[in-house]
Amino acid sequence: MDIKLIEESGTIIRLQIENEDFSISDIIHQELLKDPKVVIAGVLTPHPLLKQYTIKMEVKKGINPINILKTSSGQAVKSAEAMLKEAQRAFKEGKK
């Protein structure tokens, strides 16, 4: 996975994620939307055949968008781990 900071200007930040599935950027996106300091967040896909996604977010005035991104990314990791555990449990139950 490659992550590039494309834009950082005051309350707006754009990241480009390459060589990764859509699910990673979508999980981060969903966590960003849960934060009340985030005004708007979205995932842009330049082309369906490219494994390239752009996360764009804007936070409220006076808030550091990098800090919000770090917090939301940490929550995304926890969400992904919880999904993995749930999937592993479901597979074990299905084998009985």
Q: What is residue 7's predicted lDDT score, i.e. its pLDDT?
A: 92
* Host domain of residue 14: 2-94
DSSP-derived secondary structure letter, 69? H
- Res. 31: pLDDT tops 70: yes
Domain count of the chain? Answer: 1
Percentage of residues in the chain with pLDDT exceeding 70?
98
Question: Higher-confidence residue: 1 or 37?
Answer: 37
Looking at residue 65, which CATH number applies to its domain?
3.30.1360.10
Q: Give 35-82 pLDDT, tens digit per residue.
A: 999 999 999 988 878 889 999 999 999 999 999 999 999 999 998 899
User: How many angstroms separate the Cα of 8 from the Cα of each of 47, 55, 57, 72?
Assistant: 23, 12, 10, 17
Q: What is the pTM (predicted TM-score) of this model? A: 0.81
